[in-house]
Copies of this chain bind each other. A is one copy, B any other.
Amino acid sequence: MVGSRSLEPEEWEFWDTYMHAHRLLVREMDRGLQRDCGISKAEYSVLVTLWRAPGDDMRVGELAESLNWEKSRVSHQLTRMENRGFVERTPHGAGGRRAGIGLTAKGRGAVRSAMLVHAGNIRRYFLDLLTPEQTAAIGAWSEQLIDHVEPRPTET
């Protein structure tokens, strides 16, 4: 497996084409969110996760777990979003420890419109461009890759 022999030209090209397509897809999705809602993809992820949270506030660790992000990344992101007024850290832990993360009213408003915009863009730039066979192929491949890299028995 460490054969590391080089790829055939058409394999390189296939890889490049796929990566290029994905980059464009992500770029358009990001720009749509930014342009229409004024939020970034990272902010979107946090907002949606908090919005779907059962209780009113989450802990940083839960957020990190749920997003599959590192805690430090969550913390940095929360700092930025707190400055923008989307979330607030409630100092509600035992002994003055900051623990709870909650959406502000502004955050709740943002997430509502963002989900609509995002859904539309997923349709426009992704779902609508796929034939059923391509959908099946990409779905199967995605699951297989996830299983391969991160063997986690989340079988559906």
A residues with a Cβ closer than 8 A to B are: 1-7, 11-18, 20-22, 24-25, 28, 36, 68, 113, 115-117, 119-120, 122-127, 129-131, 133-146, 148-150, 156
Contacts and interface: CB of A to CB of B under 8 A. Distances in A.
Q: Which residue of A11, A12, A20, A150 has the most chain B CB atoms within 10 A of its CB atom?
A: A20
Given A119-B5, A122-B15, A134 B135 contact: no
Task: Tell which of A18, A36, A144 has the most Cβ of chain B within 10 Å.
Answer: A18
Given A3-B123, A25-B149, 13 more contacts: A1-B124, A4-B119, A11-B127, A12-B119, A17-B156, A18-B138, A20-B146, A21-B145, A24-B146, A129-B144, A134-B141, A137-B137, A137-B138
B141 A130 contact: yes
Contacts of A14: 127, 135, 139
A4 B141 contact: no
A20 B142 contact: yes
Given A1-B116, A4-B116, A156 B24 contact: no
A49 B70 CA distance: 33
A18 B125 contact: no
Contacts of A5: 119-120
11 contacts: A3-B120, A5-B120, A11-B127, A15-B122, A17-B142, A20-B142, A20-B146, A24-B145, A24-B149, A28-B149, A138-B141
Contacts of A117: 1, 4
A126 B134 CA distance: 16
